[in-house]
Amino acid sequence: MKIKSQKDFFSGLLFMGLGIAFGWGALGYKLGDAGRMGPGYFPLILGSLMAVLGAVITLKALVGKSEGGDRIGSWAWRPLVFVLSSNLVFGLLLGGLPSISLPPTGLIAGIFGLTIIASLAERRFHSRDVLILAAILAVISYAAFIALLKLLMPVWPAFIAG
C-alpha cells in the first residue's frame, strides 16, 4: 500500500501512540463514574478520543487523495541537535546538577556555553564573531535581568562567588 500523505500518516501514528499512552496511564488512577469522576476519568476519555482520531488520520492518509505525497522532507538534524543541546548545557552551567555534584557555574559561563554551542547550528562558524556575540549577550543579560529586573540566579561560578 502506498502512503498518500506522509505528514498525515506519521502524525496519525503519533497521535495514536500518545492517546494510547495517556489512556493507559489514566487506567492507573481511580476512574469513578460520571457522577463522581475520579482522577482517571477525563484523561481516559481524552486519550481514547485522541487514539481514535489518530487512527482515522492514519487511515485517511492511506486512502485519501494524493497531493504529491505531502512528504515530510529532510530533518534539520544539525540545528535541532545544537540548539537543543545548547539549551541543556546552559541549564547545566547555570544551575549545576546536584545529583552528579556538579557545582553551578552561573549565568555568564552559561551564556558563553549556550552561544558557542547554538552557533554551531550554522554551517559557517566564525569563532571571533561568536565570542563577541556571547560577550554582548552577557552584558545585556546582566544589565537587564540581574541589575534591572533583579532576577535571582547564580551569576558567577560557585567557586568564585563562594
Partner 1 sequence: MDLLANLSLGFGVALTPINLLYAFIGCFLGTLIGVLPGIGPVATIAMLLPATFSLPPVSALIMLAGLYYGAQYGGSTTSILVNLPGEPSAVVTCIDGYQMARQGRAGPALAAAALGSFFAGSVGVLLLAAFAPPLMLLAAEFGPAEYFSLMILGLIGAVVLASGSLLKAIAMVLFGLLLGLVGTDVNSGIPRFSFDIPELIDGIGFVVIAMGIFGYGEIVSNLGRSEKEREVYTAKVHGLFPTRRDFKDMAPAVLRGTCLGSLLGVLPGGGALLGSFAAYAFEKKVRTKPDELPLGKGNIRGVAAPESANNAGAQTSFIPMLTLGIPPNAVMALMIGAMIIHNIQPGPQVLTRNPALFWGLITSMWIGNLMLVILNLPLIGIWIKMLKVPYRFLFPAIVLFCAIGVYSMNNNTFDIWMLAGFGFVGYVFIKLGCEPAPLVLGFILGPMMEENLRRALLLSLGDWSTFVTRPLSAGLLATALLFLLVMLSPAVKKKRREAFEE
| Subset of residues 116 to 135 that bind partner 1, contact rule: CB under 8 A | 118-119, 121-122, 124, 129-130, 133-134
Binding to partner 1, residues 73-92 (CB under 8 A):
73-76, 78-80, 83-88, 90-92
At residue 134's C-alpha, the angle toward residues 143 and 96, to 5°, is: 80
What is d(CA 156, CA 87) in angstroms, rounded to the nearest whole number?
Answer: 18
Residue 145 found at the interface with partner 1 (CB under 8 A): yes
CB of 106 vs partner 1, minimal distance in Å: 12
Select from 147, 142, 3, 139 the least CA-distant residue to 61: 3
Residue 137 found at the interface with partner 1 (CB under 8 A): yes
CB of 43 vs partner 1, minimal distance in Å: 6
Residue 63 found at the interface with partner 1 (CB under 8 A): no
Burial grade of 156 (CB within 10 A; 0-12, 13-18, 19 or more): middle
CB of 49 vs partner 1, minimal distance in Å: 6
Residue 147 found at the interface with partner 1 (CB under 8 A): no
Residue 47 corresponds to which cell in the numbers above?
Answer: 486519550
